[in-house]
Amino acid sequence: MASHRKSRPVGTRVAGIRTPALATAALTSVALLSQSANAAPADDKPSLEEVEKKVDDLYRQAESATDNYNAAKEKTTKQRKQVDTLLQDVAQRTQKLNEAREELGSFAAAQYRTGAAAPDTATFLLADTPQDYFDQTQLMGRLTSRQKGAVDDYVSEQSVTMKKRQEASQSLQTLTETQSDLKTAKATVQKKLADARDLLSELTAQEKARLAAIEKQKQREAARKAAELAQQQAAAEKAAQEATTPQQSTPTAPDSSYATKAAKALAFARAQIGKPYVWGATGPDSYDCSGLTQAAWKAAGVDLPRVTYDQVNAGTTVSLADAQPGDLVFFYDDISHVGLYIGNGMMIHAPKPGAYVREESIYYDGESAIHSVVRPA
């Protein structure tokens, strides 16, 4: 605190009493320290609005990281199947090679018994190929056509097996790298969720009540926007029905086959309402956002990709005004969230950790959060 001191006269009065300069400086320091101690918590502690924004951002980041985790997990599953298939193929080919090698060894032994140059077992085993060995021992000329064919088959099979082994080795390396990515993505999700929980745990009961009030206000505004969209869509549909010219039918209205599929997808989604959001989950007991939309459309016979940034390309983009039940509504610039549109500005979605599958306005996080609408079938 010495750097904040100003030069003072030798004697100063405090409460009518003359005190030495040193005592005055000490009292001044105590006062400043007291002010700093009282001000620090207020200065350092974020506002409730800042906490809310930070928590929302962390949940969004966790959801984006969840998509990375889902993609890595899906990739790992495919690669593991490929590796298992390759290893099984290599094992079968190796067994055939061993059997063929034994047969070729019997050819060499037979030639030895008939007087050809004595075969050296070590030479046979260390030769680059059986062909090299038979050439070296000048036995090829004495083999029958069947025996020569066996040698040729062995050489060909050995070459293929070596390539398969290299392929399996490379696939194993790739699988190891993908598993490392999976581990990193999982750790990222867990860290974001833990940070969000820590922020919320620091709130007082009064602050939590205020936060709930802010959330209710947001929900009321979202419901109002949803009602506006429902009115706009209803007006557009009525205008289309009242059109006298046959050609003036709405071009974006889904055909009956889409409506049938969408109804199945929505029926499935509604049956999941109340189930918890769990990152990386695809059902049947819990879901993340893209896991729910994937499962819903699978129930309608349509296969969607696993993650949001692939699902957004799995169909035809339509305007929000033309959104129909069953369409996918994507959110945020990084396309990290998705819900299933049910009409009237509402959707069914798996919102975030700690929440449950529910119906909610597509404006739940504001109009600017909506990225696009896609018709998947």
Catalytic residues: 289, 337, 349
Please state, in angstroms and rounded to a whole number, the distance separating the CA atoms of residues 223 and 113: 95
Question: Residue 356 gets which letter from DSSP?
Answer: B
Is residue 94 within 8 Å of residue 161, measured between CB atoms? yes
Residue 229: both structure tokens together:
């969209």
Please state, in angstroms and rounded to a whole number, the distance separating the CA atoms of residues 25 and 18: 13
Find the farthest-apart pair of alpha carbons in the chain and give their distance in angstroms, rounded.
131
Is residue 337 within 8 Å of residue 308, measured between CB atoms? yes
Beta bridge partners of 328: 340, 374
Q: Which helix (H) or strand (E) holds 230?
A: helix 205-242
C-alpha distances in Å from residue 365, one per residue of 65, 210, 219, 270, 356: 19, 18, 9, 21, 16
